[in-house]
Structure 1
Amino acid sequence: MTESDNDGWPDKYSDPRDRPHPGVLRVTVESFDAMREDTFGTVDAAAQGEAQPAVVSFATVGELRKILTDRRIELLQTLMDTDGAAESISALAEELDRDYRTVHDDVTLLSDYGIVFIVEDDERSKRPYLPYERIRLDVELTVSDSGEERAAA
């Protein structure tokens, strides 16, 4: 196996633009047990050659809403409309007509959750990168035994 300092990716994938990415990012709200079962199903389907979406899961609807605010969704849509990349965070802030610092913070947070990638070209500006053609939100509200609404994927 190739040596790596890139979260388990071989050195040839040090740039996230060079990594294989599915066309769809699926964002879910699900329990740990449901997420584990989905992961096993995904592994089985991938082993049979079926294409699978990338998945980011949140434990609660509140956590999802805290991360995917209207402004961050606008940021994601802007990246998707520009073929998934911006020249820099400054250029993205200008495109969004927003302050650099808030856009930088939003890009960093979305990167921390694995939704956006940050490309650093030769110590120049950081470039936000979104490799997905679609982002699908899977949130299903159900009634729990106690009568309270809860979310399930």
Structure 2
Amino acid sequence: MNAEVELAYVSFTISGDNVAPGFWTGYFGVQPDIAVTKGAPIRGAGGTGTAQRRTGVWGLESRLAVRNDQLGPHLQFLQKRLGLPRADLRALVEQAGARMRFFCYWVNESGNRVPVIPCDIQTMAEDQGIAIDIDEYR
């Protein structure tokens, strides 16, 4: 495998029909990597201009900020950047009818890499209502 290939990174997203990206940008106090509203036009969608976003999404990722082949440092970066845990986060997301997740990108071409989620991050995510999904590529 090419040494330049990223073997791991993580994104955090809040998604749902009622996600208001501006609210979440202000709430977390960080500029997102993605911020789209349900119904917004999708640029370059066949040139017709009729395609629209199916749901709203606000998200931040670790890809450019963390260079590490393990998930822990990526998750810790996002936890710190987002100021997690937050006492009111779960309730706010539920009120918006949205969901949160950490999406973990994991390359395992060799078949011998085991993704590890640190126990404290796993507990914090469960308490906050954040799903953790690992997408493994072989």
Of Structure 1 and Structure 2, the greater strand share is in 2
TM-score tier, shorter chain, comes to under 0.3
What TM-score does the superposition give when structure 1 sets the normalisation length?
Answer: 0.24
Larger Rg: 1
Which structure dedicates a bigger proportion of its chain to helix?
A: 1
